[in-house]
Structure 1
Amino acid sequence: MALLKVTALVLCAAFVSALPAEDPVLGRWSEGLRYDYMEDDAGTPHLVDNWLKLSDFEKLARYNPDASNRYHLFTRRNPQISQPLALNNVQSVQNSNFNGRSRTAVLMHGFAGSVTSGFNTVLVPAFLAAGDYNVIVVDWSAGSSWGPRAVEAGQAAGRFINWLNGITGSTANLYTVVGYSVGGHGAGIIARTINGNVGYVIGCDPADRWDNQWLFRPSDGLYTEVIHTNVGNIGMRQPLGDVDFYPNGGVNMPGCMTALCDHYRSYYYLGESLRTGGFTGRRCSNLNQALSGSCNQSGTLRLGGPNPKTGNSGIFHLTTNPLPPFSRG
């Protein structure tokens, strides 16, 4: 019997020592459930912890977006193969096709994305079709597997643009900053970090379950616009910009069977608007009308497109086709 007791104690001690050390919780990135699944740009689900733990803080401390972010330049002279632009490397800019007198589009991908994400493969050629842009893809894949790092990544991208403008003489009003999902909020962070007033800021279905301190804001640019296509699931329900569009009521996009497909549609609609226009929205008196599609206010506005609709504000609803061309006019 004594031997059994000693054995039991040894086994118990071994079990306790095998348990993971306590990881103190320091705060919450969002309200609601602690754990949920989030799909990356390829549709792979990842279990995400919405609470900030000590181990997360340690990871944040090791992540240096100023060193880890990569910036890929595309222009009409190099539409398919990017030219790298490197912070504090003047020669990388001087040897590139960047034109400080041209308009510049800055693209920030979403959770667990990269330079080859669908968001970029759709919007890079769309911007180049729309005009003689410098298109800069912000590759923050070194940090994008943990969504809240979009804050630091966006701030670093804003600092990079300030450095770039100092070299090239470009100005904030020539910029269009676009982000998708968590990068949708990141686009606002980039814009508010850039010196001066950014001309055009677009959020493609900014992610839900996001820290209120870092939400996309109407004041992030001279004109800000948000396209909501998966409200209340992956994307945010509430209006965030000067102008907010709710295609098809903001959820259940025609032709889609999944929430991720709805989420994607935000940048597909933007890409088509850059190429062909279309997507005429009807003004709504409130969010409930936009969600239900019962808008009866006078006035229309085009979604997206290459030019900011500075001075406009409000909530708009429109309907789309299930297949390209998505616009009904």
Structure 2
Amino acid sequence: MNLKMKYSCLILLVFTFSASHGAVDFGFAGDILTSTGNILKSVISKSLKLNQSPDDFFEEFKNILIGYPFEPGFMFVSTLCSIVVSEENIKPRIRPSIEKMNYVLKTKDRNISVPLNDPVELWSLDDFNRDWPTVIMVTGWTTNISEGTAADSIYDAYECRGNVNFVLIDTAGFVDTIYSWAAFNTEEIGNILADSLAILTESEYDMENITLIGHSLGAQICGSAGRNFYNKTNKLLPKIIGLDPANPCFDMGESLTGLYRGDADFVIVLHSNPGIFGKADPLGDIDFYVNGLRPKAPGCFTITCSHGRAVEYYAESVYPGNEHNFMAVKCNSLSALEQNSCKGIPIPMGYATPTNVKGNYFLKVNKKSPYGKNSTKNFVPICQVFNDSMSYN
């Protein structure tokens, strides 16, 4: 899309947005032009100050028209849900039934399902290599393992590295019900996962080899698993990676607190849809704000797309040779980053994030794959299975 077409689209979008929000009266063309002009003037002024490209300019407008209007509504829903949950006035109509849920150990040749209430069977499988690290992935609301997407994209990346036990949790629809019921279920499912991990570590499996990864509600389940594991064993899991942890219903100090620093020895959080489907608050030891606090990810036209981008960003960082695709700088805002006011040492976001750093880090990404600004142009993932003698970080 050339610059002329983009500006034409922007004017049309502002026109529609202003009308739908009562900012203009179609009986007065002058009001329409004034409203449109004021918005355009503000954004163009900022764009010129930051020397933004037409693409950046267009992305800024999409955030104004597509992303930001959702934030007040989601804030209200989240607050209301948190109050109701804390008062214990309602209970989920559908509660987890452990006998219907499964672990799925993914291998190159097959997927092996084991009931969640029989973790000993899982850890005893011939296909579970006790000398390898174990990654446990928990998907979010309406993204279960049968649909692929989040789970498969991250598995493919880890399988490309080789020498890893990759386990998914099949929640059998218990996080695919009405959202408020699903939110209730995260704590209980997390407790079940904690029991299984306690059994694994008691069998002399090295706890330092365990990593939990969760997307959306799955990230909140991982937080629950980490807290409950500590309560059962008095030990902290080494690492939890939260990919855009779910926002609605999860407020600190209420019944559903969700993932937070302290749930593992090191908690990493990637934010891609802050303030809407994903939490905007810093939650981990280190929080990465992709495109700052803007709720719409570059290249996305929906908030659902933006919420899922955290998974794609992380998966890209796992592929061998792409560990440093996403370089972030400790900063207070995206604007400060764009003005080169953040002078810290850049660190990689995702697979290679060092565990000795803390704070809020900001970065920008590309609109399409490869998303990392530091990636090789025209990147195509090429799998290379590491030799057994090579280390897994």
TM-score category (smaller protein): 0.7 to 0.9
Q: Distance in 1 between matches of 2:330 and 2:286?
A: 10
How far is 1:157 from its partner? 1.2
Q: Distance in 1 between matches of 2:216 and 2:83?
A: 16
User: What is the number of residues matched between the two proteins?
Assistant: 279
SS at match of 1:59: coil
Partner of 2:171: 140
Change (3 A) 1:199 1:58: closer
Q: Give the TM-score, by structure 1 length.
A: 0.76
**Mapping 1:1-329, distance limit 5 Å:** 32-33=76-77, 51-52=84-85, 56-57=90-91, 59=93, 63-74=95-106, 78-79=107-108, 81-86=110-115, 87-88=117-118, 90-117=120-147, 118-144=149-175, 145=177, 146-148=181-183, 149-167=185-203, 169-194=204-229, 195=233, 196-209=235-248, 210-212=250-252, 213=254, 214-250=257-293, 251-275=295-319, 276-277=322-323, 278-284=325-331, 286=332, 289-290=333-334, 293-294=337-338, 296-305=342-351, 307=352, 309-329=354-374
How far is 1:64 from its partner? 3.8
Deviations, residues 287-308 of structure 1 (Å, cap 9, x unaligned)? xx14774451322111011x55
SS at match of 1:282: strand
| Structure with the higher strand share, 1 or 2 | 1
Q: Distance in 2 between matches of 1:114 and 1:137?
A: 10
How far is 1:239 from its partner? 0.5
Instruction: Output the amino acid matched with 2:215.
Output: Y
Range 118-127 or range 82-91, more displaced: 82-91
Instruction: Output the amino acid matched with 2:227.
Output: R
SS at match of 1:73: strand
Deviations, residues 3-56 of structure 1 (Å, cap 9, x unaligned)? xxxxxxxxxxxxxxxxxxxxxxxxxxx9723899xxxxxxxxxxx998459895
Q: Distance in 1 between matches of 2:77 and 2:262?
A: 30
Q: Distance in 2 between matches of 1:159 and 1:235?
A: 27
| Structure with the higher helix share, 1 or 2 | 2
How far is 1:154 from its partner? 1.3
Q: Distance in 1 between matches of 2:162 and 2:121?
A: 26
Q: Distance in 2 between matches of 1:35 and 1:188?
A: 20
SS at match of 1:116: helix
Change (3 A) 1:184 1:292: farther
Instruction: Output the amino acid matched with 1:182.
Output: L
How far is 1:155 from its partner? 1.3
Q: Distance in 2 between matches of 1:311 and 1:65?
A: 39
Partner of 1:40: none
* Conserved 8 A contact 1:290-1:315: no
Q: Distance in 2 between matches of 1:247 and 1:35?
A: 25
Instruction: Output the amino acid matched with 2:201.
Output: N
How far is 1:140 from its partner? 1.3
How far is 1:79 from its partner? 2.5
How far is 1:138 from its partner? 0.9
Change (3 A) 1:245 1:49: closer
Q: Distance in 1 between matches of 2:366 and 2:96?
A: 43
Q: Distance in 1 between matches of 2:109 and 2:90?
A: 37
Percent of residue pairs identical? 22
* Conserved 8 A contact 2:336-2:342: no
Change (3 A) 1:31 1:135: same
Instruction: Output the amino acid matched with 2:360.
Output: I
Deviations, residues 200-250 of structure 1 (Å, cap 9, x unaligned)? 211100111214242211112221110001111111111000110111114
